[in-house]
Amino acid sequence: MAEEAYEVMKSLVSKQGQRDEYHVFGEHVGFKIRKLRTNYAKSTVEYLINNILYEAETGKYDFPPQQQYQYFQQPNNQSQSVSVPYQSSNIPSSPSSSTITSLTSPTPTTPAPSFIDEDSFDEV
At 21, is the secondary structure helix, strand, or coil?
A: helix
Q: What mean pLDDT is reported for the chain?
A: 74
Tell me, what's the pLDDT at 110? Answer: 55
Cβ(46)–Cβ(32) below 8 Å: no
Name the nearest CA neighbour of 113 among 121, 122, 103: 121
Distance between CA 29 and CA 46 in Å, rounded?
10
Question: Is the pLDDT assigned to residue 65 strictly greater than 70?
Answer: yes
User: From the CA atom positions of the chain, what is the Rg in Å?
Assistant: 36
| Residues 5-44: tens digit of each pLDDT | 778 877 777 766 778 999 999 999 999 999 999 999 999 9
Banded model confidence at residue 87, pLDDT cuts 50, 70, 90: very low
**Number of continuous H segments (helices) and E segments (strands) in the chain:** 4, 0
